[in-house]
């Protein structure tokens, strides 16, 4: 009995998981809407009607599940399902392979938080659901007359220049002059469409990021330019950023979403009030 309790304690042990967050501003565009209502009320009414007497809504193959909703916010999940890859194997906790996986599907989740008053959105970035902002926008437009866009929060140049970076990534188009050095391998054996340079940095001078922006930000030869710190990655071309945060969860986290909701809410407010 004691051993079973220990196993349960270990299974539910809280761990800290590093997750990437994206942040968006909600911009209302010309549409048929009730002009007697404020935008935050219109947005709340949209979700309230959408989830009336139900907790989940399917839209274009994606399932949205309401977790908490009131006049100030909505916190919900996005679920995308897919069949198991033929090379994927499933084993139980004892290590025994499950041979018949025909009834199994993969469910990939992410979570988002919308503040109706601040008109802001925070969402966990995942590889399995690469464009959550598009899914959220589609959900709203397909269930209302609201026309809106989700614009990424951006850093200004001074904020970017003050970053303590430890990584840089640059991609050049194939017609870039900086690409010429590699052209000699392009003639016979292969054809190159893009050249990418990526490096981890040990030491960086104070004006390094500033010089990098001055040289490459407006260059027509650069396809992508990004820098990273311990907690953020910034696209220097578009000035948009992704923030890395730690969320403490258990394996049984679905019984209590409060940690995820609290993190998404607080990090969004930090960005809005910065």
Its pTM stands at 0.80
Give the per-residue pLDDT at 133: 94
Q: How many Cβ atoms sit within 10 Å of the Cβ of residue 70? A: 10
> Tokens representing 247?
């969320």
Per-residue pLDDT 10s for the chain (274 aa) are 445 554 544 445 677 788 889 999 999 987 777 778 899 999 999 999 999 999 999 987 899 999 999 999 999 999 998 877 766 677 777 767 777 766 777 889 999 999 999 999 999 998 889 889 999 999 999 988 888 999 999 988 888 888 889 999 988 776 555 555 555 555 556 666 677 888 899 888 888 888 888 888 888 888 888 999 988 999 988 888 899 888 877 777 887 899 999 999 999 999 999 7
Upper half-sphere CA count for residue 234 (Cβ side, 13 Å)? 25
For residue 126, count CB atoms less than 10 angstroms from its CB and return exposed for 0-12, middle for 13-18, buried for 19 or more. middle
Q: Could you read off the pLDDT of 132-158 as tens digits, one per residue?
A: 999 999 999 998 888 899 999 998 888
Give the per-residue pLDDT at 265: 96
**Three-state SS annotation for the chain:** CHHHHHHHHHHCCCEEEEEEEEEEEEEECCCCCCCCCCHHHHHHHHHHHHCCCCCEEEECCEEEEEEEECCCEEEEEEEEEEECCCCCCEECCCCCEECCCCCCEEEEEEEEEEECCCCEEEEEECCCCCCHHHHHHHHHHHCCCCCEEEEECECCHHHHHCCCCCEEEEEEECCCHHHHHHHHHCCCCCCCCEEEEEEECCCCCCCHHHHHHHHHCCCCCEEEEEEECCCEEEECCCCEEEEEEEEEECCCHHHCCHHHHHHHHHHHHHHHHC
Choose among 154, 176, 191, 163: nearest CA to 223.
Answer: 176
> Tokens representing 115?
């503040």
Give the per-residue pLDDT at 207: 86
Give the per-residue pLDDT at 113: 98
> Tokens representing 128?
């399995």
Give the per-residue pLDDT at 177: 57
């Amino acid at each position: 009995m004691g051993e079973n309790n220990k196993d349960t304690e270990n299974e539910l042990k809280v761990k800290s998981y590093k997750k990437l967050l994206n942040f968006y501003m909600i911009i209302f565009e010309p549409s048929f809407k009730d002009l007697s209502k404020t935008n935050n009320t219109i947005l709340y009414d949209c979700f309230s009607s959408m989830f009336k007497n139900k907790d989940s809504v399917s839209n274009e193959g994606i399932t949205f599940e309401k977790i908490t909703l009131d006049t100030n916010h909505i916190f919900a999940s996005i679920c995308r399902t897919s069949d198991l890859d033929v090379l994927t194997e499933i084993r139980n906790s004892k290590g025994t392979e499950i041979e018949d996986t025909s009834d199994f599907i993969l469910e990939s989740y992410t979570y988002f938080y919308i503040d109706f008053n601040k008109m802001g959105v925070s969402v966990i970035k995942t590889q399995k659901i690469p464009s959550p902002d598009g899914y959220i926008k589609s959900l709203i437009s397909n269930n209302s007359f609201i026309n809106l866009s989700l614009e990424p929060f951006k850093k200004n140049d001074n904020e970017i220049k003050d970053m303590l970076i430890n990584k840089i990534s640059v991609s050049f188009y194939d017609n870039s002059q900086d690409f010429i050095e590699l052209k000699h391998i392009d003639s016979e054996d292969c054809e190159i469409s893009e050249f990418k340079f990526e490096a981890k940095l040990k030491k960086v001078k104070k004006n390094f990021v500033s010089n990098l922006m001055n040289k490459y930000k407006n260059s027509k030869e650069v396809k992508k330019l990004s820098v990273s710190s311990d907690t953020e990655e910034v696209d220097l071309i578009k000035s948009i950023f992704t923030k890395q945060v730690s969320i403490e969860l258990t394996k049984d986290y679905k019984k209590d979403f409060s940690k995820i909701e609290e993190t998404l809410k607080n990090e969004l407010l930090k960005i809005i009030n910065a």
